[in-house]
Amino acid sequence: MEDYTFTENELEKGRLLFAAECTFMLSVVKIPDLPPFGRPEICFAGRSNVGKSSLINALTGRKGLAKTSNTPGRTQCLNFFNVDNRLNLVDMPGYGYAEAPKNLVKEWQGLIRDYLLGRPTLQRVFVLIDSRHGIKENDRAMMKMLDECAVSYQIVLTKGDKISKAAQDKLCTEVTEISKKHPAAHPFVHKTSSEKMLGFDELRAEIGKLC
């Protein structure tokens, strides 16, 4: 995947997409409340506190668009954002949050599975992995579910500013090898830091290809 690059045109298309208007649409806690199918959609999944909401803010260049917090479990529903009437972004509740009440966890899992299975406009799920922790058991479970639901997904490493470049490169190679073994996974792994705004030109270009 070393030769996977983005052309000037793709980078420009991604930049323009996110330079346009991005607005909050709605929060969904049950399937009947999902917005009707329409625009292509991408979503962000990952363990609680991995940085999903921060990544949406960095991607769109809008600090308070998605609510972020130090307290795990901040995002408890599917939050939809409209990018220039061309694309929906979906911020998902995090998984693996130890203190979450069991009944709530079951509800979220049900909601996420039903959403993944019943959303033909879903173009890709970006599965976020904390660069300090790598792929954990519940990330593997998420990847398995995505393989089973035949939903295209791609790994994005977050919080790259928290580890050395060498450590991040090593993790990236490992995660790429894991991705290659999963049928529904895109083998190119994105490296990001929302804190330092790194990796977003490429991620915007990637997303620009999907709409």
Ligand X SMILES: Nc1nc2c(ncn2[C@@H]2O[C@H](COP(=O)(O)OP(=O)(O)OP(=O)(O)O)[C@@H](O)[C@H]2O)c(=O)[nH]1
What is the smallest separation between the CB atom of 48 and Mg ion, expressed in angstroms?
Answer: 8
The answer to whether residue 199 forms part of the interface with ligand X (CB under 6 A) is no
Torsions phi, psi for 149 (to 5 deg): -80, -5
Tell me which residue has its CB nearest to ligand X: 94
Residues 147-176: x/- map of binding to ligand X (CB under 6 A)? -----------xx-xx--------------
Give the CA angle between residues 47, 105, 60 to the nearest 5°.
40
| Residue 203 parent element (H or E) | helix 200-208
Question: How many chain residues bind ligand X (CB under 6 A)?
Answer: 23
Give 147 or 161: the residue with its C-beta nearer to ligand X: 161
The answer to whether residue 131 forms part of the interface with ligand X (CB under 6 A) is no
The answer to whether residue 72 forms part of the interface with ligand X (CB under 6 A) is yes
Residues ≥6 apart with Cβ < 8 Å to 116: 122, 125, 145, 146, 149, 151
Taking CB under 5 A as the criterion, the residue among 53, 88, 123, 179 binding Mg ion is 53
Residues numbered 74-93 forming contacts with Mg ion, rule: CB under 5 A: 74-75
Which amino acid would we find at residue 173?
T
Q: Which residue has the tokens 């190119």?
A: 188
Give 32 or 64: the residue with its C-beta nearer to ligand X: 64
DSSP 66-102: S---SSTT---SEEEEEETTTEEEEEPPPB--TTS-H
- Residue 175 in tokens: 């995660």
Q: Choose the contact partner of 70 out of Mg ion, ligand X, none; CB within 5 to 8 A by kind.
A: ligand X
Compute the distance between CA of residue 33 and CA of residue 172 in angstroms, rounded to an integer: 37
The answer to whether residue 10 forms part of the interface with ligand X (CB under 6 A) is no
The answer to whether residue 48 forms part of the interface with ligand X (CB under 6 A) is yes
Tell me if residue 107 falls in helix, strand or coil.
helix
Give 53 or 123: the residue with its C-beta nearer to ligand X: 53
Is the distance from CB of 57 to CB of 65 less than 8 angstroms? Answer: yes
Q: Choose the contact partner of 48 out of ligand X, Mg ion, none; CB within 5 to 8 A by kind.
A: ligand X
* Contact footprint for Mg ion (CB under 5 A): 52-53, 74-75
Site residues for ligand X per CB under 6 A: 46, 48-54, 68-70, 72-75, 94, 158-159, 161-162, 193-195
